[in-house]
Structure 1
Amino acid sequence: MPVTYLIKFQVVPERREQFLELLNGVLDAMRSEPMFHEAILHSDPTSDNRFMLYETWESHEDVINAQLQRPYRHAWHEALPTLLEQERDITIWEPLRADHRQDV
């Protein structure tokens, strides 16, 4: 069953560019993973240093056992303590319904 993660980040202001550079590298690499569905990075319109990542995968078990161990994530995970003002806020969600605009 697909699983979605909502991850909120409060970034150290001086580390914003490094945060985005490292995260963009991870997002670019994730795109080719077979269990990956989608990811959407959001910015808070009231704070330049607050972000939310919406990330959907086919399986939570695959994320835990395979995806988090991928080599392209190592630099990202190692840098997080210096990039963030506080721990990430991560919540896990399972879909009940999905609606998309239909072009006529």
Structure 2
Amino acid sequence: MSVAYTITFTLRRGQRERFLRLLTEVMEAMRHEATYRGATLHEDPGDPARFLLHDIWADHEDVVNVQIHRPYRQAWHEALPDLLQGERRIEIWRPIDA
């Protein structure tokens, strides 16, 4: 069963371009993963420092045990303390058949 993640980011002042560049690199790479299903990055229309990433994967265990450890994510993970004003808010959602 697929799993969706919503991740909210609030950026430090002056980090928008670096954030977008690094995240775009990760998103481009993950599109080639077999368990990837889709992702969309959203910007808060009232606050250009807030973003929401919504991504969908085929399997949660694959995400936590394999995907987040991919080498193409290393620069992204290392940069997060400098990019973000606080911790990311990560939520996990599972689809239901209505």
TM-score by length of 2: 0.97
Aligned residues: 98
* SS of equivalent residue, structure 1 residue 72: helix
C-alpha displacement of 1:13? 2.1
Aligned match of 1:55: 55
Aligned match of 1:19: 19
> What runs of 5+ residues in structure 1 fail to find an aligned partner?
99-104
2:48 and 2:64 mapped to 1: Cα distance?
30
Percent identity between the aligned chains?
52
1:42 and 1:92 mapped to 2: Cα distance?
17
RMSD across aligned positions (CA): 1.1
1:35 and 1:28 mapped to 2: Cα distance?
14
Once the two structures are superposed, what CA deviation does each residue of 1:36-75 show, in whole Å capped at 9, x if it has no partner? 0000000000001100000000000000110001000000
> Over alpha carbons, which structure has the higher Rg?
1
The one-letter amino acid paired with 2:53 is L
1:97 and 1:83 mapped to 2: Cα distance?
38
4+ residue runs over 4 A deviation? none
* SS of equivalent residue, structure 2 residue 74: helix
1:35 and 1:63 mapped to 2: Cα distance?
8
